[in-house]
C-alpha cells in the first residue's frame, strides 16, 4: 500500500459508498496516518463522494481536488472580452 520511503498512502476510494460511515472511516484513517507522520491521498473518487467530502469540509484534509466547473460564459480559450454596452463593435 505504501512505499517505505514514501510518507503518502494512496487509498482507492472508487468503490466506497458515498455515505457518512465511509467519510468517518476516511477521516479516522487520515488521523491515524498523520499521527504516524504520513498522509492519506484518495484516488478514483466518485463525484458523489467528492461532493460529500466537500460538504463535510474534508476535501483538503484528504487531498481531494475539487472539480472545476467552467463558468457560464467562459469560452474554450479561457478569454472573455469585456466591453461596455455603448462601445461600437470593432
- The domain ranges of the chain are 8-56
Comparing 40 with 84, the larger pLDDT belongs to 40
For 11, other C-beta atoms within 10 Å of its C-beta total 20
Model confidence band, residue 83 (pLDDT cutoffs 50, 70, 90):
low
Q: What is the predicted pLDDT for the residue at 34?
A: 94
The full length of the chain comes to 90
Top pLDDT among 49 and 81 is at: 49
Does residue 40 come out as left (phi exceeding 0), alpha (psi in the -120 to 50 range) or beta? beta
Q: Is the Cβ–Cβ distance between 59 and 53 less than 8 Å?
A: yes
What tens digit of pLDDT does each residue of 1-54 get?
555 567 999 999 999 999 999 999 999 999 999 999 999 999 999 999 999 999
pTM above 0.85, yes or no: no
Residue 69: what pLDDT?
61
Residue 6 confidence (pLDDT): 75
Tell me the three cell numbers of residue 1.
Answer: 500500500
Amino acid at each position: 500500500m505504501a512505499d517505505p520511503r514514501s510518507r503518502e498512502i494512496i487509498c482507492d476510494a472508487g468503490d466506497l459508498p458515498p455515505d457518512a460511515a465511509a467519510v468517518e472511516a476516511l477521516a479516522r484513517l487520515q488521523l491515524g496516518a498523520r499521527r504516524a507522520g504520513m498522509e492519506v491521498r484518495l484516488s478514483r473518487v466518485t463525484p458523489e463522494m467528492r461532493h460529500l467530502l466537500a460538504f463535510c469540509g474534508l476535501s483538503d484534509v484528504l487531498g481531494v481536488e475539487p472539480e472545476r466547473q467552467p463558468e457560464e460564459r467562459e469560452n474554450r480559450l479561457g478569454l472573455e472580452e469585456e466591453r461596455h454596452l455603448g462601445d461600437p463593435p470593432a
